[in-house]
Structure 1
Amino acid sequence: MKKIFTLFVFIVVSSFTRQALAQDNAELTIGAKAGINFYSLSSDALVEDDDTGVSYEFGVYGRIGDRFFVQPELNLVSHKTHLITRTQSRAGERDALNVHYLRVPVLFGYRTDYEGAVASQIRFMVGPSISYAFSVADNNINVSKRDLHKAQFALNGGVGFEVWVLHLDLMYHHYLTSLFNDGRSEGKGRAFSLTAGLGF
Structure 2
Amino acid sequence: MKTSTLLLFILSLCCSFSAAAQDEPKLTIGAKAGINFYSLSSDALIVDDDTGLSYEFGVYGRIGERLFVQPELNFVSHKTHLITRIQTRAGERDALTVRYLRIPVMLGYRTDYDGKIASRIRFMAGPSISYAVGVADNNLGIKRNDIHNAQFALNGGVGFEVWLLHLDLLYHHYFTALLNDGRAEGKGRAFSISAGVGF
1:170 Cα offset (Å): 0.2
In structure 2, the residue matched to 1:99 is 98
Listed one character per residue, the Cα deviations across residues 106-134 of structure 1 (whole Å, up to 9, x for unaligned) are: 00000000010100000000000000001
Matches within 5 A, 1:1-200: 1-23=2-24, 26-200=25-199
Mapped to 2, the partners of 1:10 and 1:59 lie a distance apart of: 23
State the Cα distance separating 1:55 from its structure 2 match: 0.2
Residue type matched to 2:126 in 1? Answer: G
- Give the letter aligned to residue 11 of structure 1: S
Q: Match of 1:43, SS?
A: coil
Percent identity, aligned pairs only?
A: 71
Amino acid at match of 2:168: D
**Cα drift, residue 17 of structure 1:** 0.6
Q: Aligned-pair RMSD on alpha carbons?
A: 0.9
Q: Runs of 4+ in structure 1 displaced over 6 angstroms?
A: none
User: C-alpha displacement at 1:9, in angstroms?
Assistant: 2.0
How far off is 1:7 after superposition?
Answer: 2.5
TM-score by length of 1: 0.97
Q: In 2, distance between residues paired with 1:72 and 1:139? A: 33
The Cα shift of 1:4 comes to: 3.3
Query: Which stretches in structure 1 are left out of the alignment for 5+ residues?
Result: none
Deviation of 1:16 after TM superposition, in Å, equals 1.0
d(CA) in 1 for partners of 2:3 and 2:54? Answer: 28
- 1:135-187 CA-partner distances (Å, limit 9, x unpaired): 00010000011111110000000000000000000000000111111111111
For residue 14 of structure 1, what is the amino acid of its counterpart?
Answer: C
Matched AA of 2:46: V
Give the secondary-structure state (helix, strand or coil) at the position aligned to 1:22.
Answer: coil
Partners of 1:129 and 1:56 lie apart in 2 by 17
Letter of the structure 2 residue corresponding to residue 103 of structure 1: R
Q: Structure 2: give runs of 5+ residues left out of the alignment.
A: none
Q: TM-score, normalised by structure 2?
A: 0.97
Q: 2:51 & 2:84 partners in 1: Cα distance? A: 15
Displacement after TM superposition at 1:15 (Å): 1.4
Q: Which amino acid aligns with 2:36?
A: N
Give the whole-Å Cα distance in 1 for the aligned partners of 2:59 and 2:9. Answer: 24
